[in-house]
């Protein structure tokens, strides 16, 4: 059976897609120790707490099952390339992309996959991504496929675009065709509508992760005047924040909004539990998304655990980071399915 190692594994979104597709994921590696509990609890795979810059190719290679196809997957931290931070200046955070490429070349897995934000393709004039591809070509030649995909086209209930890269030593490889047309997109209501109602600041009795952040009195007034798909422009004048009254703030419409129940959600970020950080108002309840709703919109299963609540206190910031930084599980499944088909095409089993 082919074996899989996940670099920058986070809470396990990418790994879980491969697990659900029947792959043998032997380990996940991440610098954030908070990932250990959700990764191991939900995926029954080993978590290794280490930075990719400190990894030795031989120690990673030794984790693979000998004599079987080796698959290396990963999603390098994307903050330097995110559209939310694209205009900011970073020093060497993009170096992780180069570190990942160097690791792939040194290990020479039979198949590799990388998932990231689309802005990587144009970051620093596209040179970072071009260098990533050039580094890999001595091992994979021209059999490196990449494309920016719309996750809603694969059943993810988000208007989210992601960069997917695939390479194989067996031959040409690509991502499978889209599974959903625009008329078939999965909506917010279809995804979270089964959950019990909770008010701002409350926690569900049946699920400790189904908790919503509290709202100030003025934000409660604001969300009650917010329309699905709307923004702060729906409010009475006295509710406007000072920044919205300035000409420079008039262009920031993608904040303090409600989602539409019958459409996919906006991109789930690490702060999607906050009403003022984007269009994360619940379609009908006067609050922002709960942590469980964030996870479901990232297509994690209903029972995916992110924290050992017997030993730790639930933190919106910590859990929000684990969820928002994850690869949507369903997109990961489609990547895994594409690799499975590729293996079968060349006479290998997953």
Active site residues: 78
Q: What strand order describes the sheet that includes 46-49?
A: 46-49, 24-30, 3-7, 70-74, 111-116, 161-168, 144-150
The radius of gyration computed from the CA coordinates of the chain, to the nearest angstrom, equals 21
Distance CA(314)–CA(117), nearest Å, equals: 28
For helices 127-140 and 95-107, the axis angle rounded to 10 degrees is 0
Distance CA(119)–CA(162), nearest Å, equals: 9
Give residues with Cβ within 8 angstroms of 239, minimum separation 6.
Answer: 218, 221, 222, 225, 232
Q: Any bridge partners for residue 48, and if so which?
A: 29
Q: Any bridge partners for residue 74, and if so which?
A: 7, 114
Q: What is the DSSP letter of 228?
A: B
């Amino acid at each position: 059976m082919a074996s899989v190692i996940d670099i920058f594994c986070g809470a396990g979104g990418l790994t879980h897609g491969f697990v659900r597709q029947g792959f043998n994921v032997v380990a996940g590696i991440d610098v954030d120790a908070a990932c250990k509990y959700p990764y191991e609890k939900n995926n029954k795979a080993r978590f290794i707490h280490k930075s990719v810059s400190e990894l030795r190719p031989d120690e990673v290679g030794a984790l693979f099952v000998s004599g079987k196809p080796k698959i290396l997957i990963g999603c390098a931290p994307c903050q330097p390339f995110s559209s939310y931070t694209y205009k900011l200046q970073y020093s060497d955070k993009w170096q992780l992309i180069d570190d990942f490429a160097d690791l792939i070349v040194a290990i020479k897995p039979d198949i590799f996959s990388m998932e990231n934000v689309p802005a990587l393709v144009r970051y620093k004039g596209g040179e970072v991504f071009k260098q990533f591809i050039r580094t890999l070509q001595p091992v994979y030649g021209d059999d490196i496929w990449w494309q920016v995909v719309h996750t809603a086209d694969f059943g993810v209930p988000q208007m989210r675009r992601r960069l997917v890269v695939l390479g194989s030593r067996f031959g040409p490889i690509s991502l499978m065709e889209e599974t959903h047309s625009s008329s078939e997109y999965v909506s917010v209501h279809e995804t979270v509508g089964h959950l019990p109602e909770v008010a701002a600041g409350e926690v569900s009795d049946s699920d400790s992760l189904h908790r919503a952040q509290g709202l100030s009195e003025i934000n409660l007034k604001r969300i009650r005047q917010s329309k699905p798909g709307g923004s702060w422009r729906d409010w009475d004048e006295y509710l406007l924040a000072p920044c919205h009254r300035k000409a420079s703030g008039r262009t920031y419409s993608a904040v303090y909004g409600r989602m539409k129940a019958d459409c996919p959600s906006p991109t789930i970020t690490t702060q999607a539990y906050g009403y003022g950080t984007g269009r994360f108002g619940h379609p009908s309840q006067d609050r922002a998304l709960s942590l469980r709703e964030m996870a479901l919109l990232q297509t994690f299963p209903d029972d995916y655990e992110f924290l050992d609540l017997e030993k730790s206190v639930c933190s919106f910031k910590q859990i929000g980071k684990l969820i928002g930084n994850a690869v949507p599980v369903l997109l990961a499944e489609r990547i895994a399915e594409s690799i499975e088909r590729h293996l079968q095409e060349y006479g290998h089993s997953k």
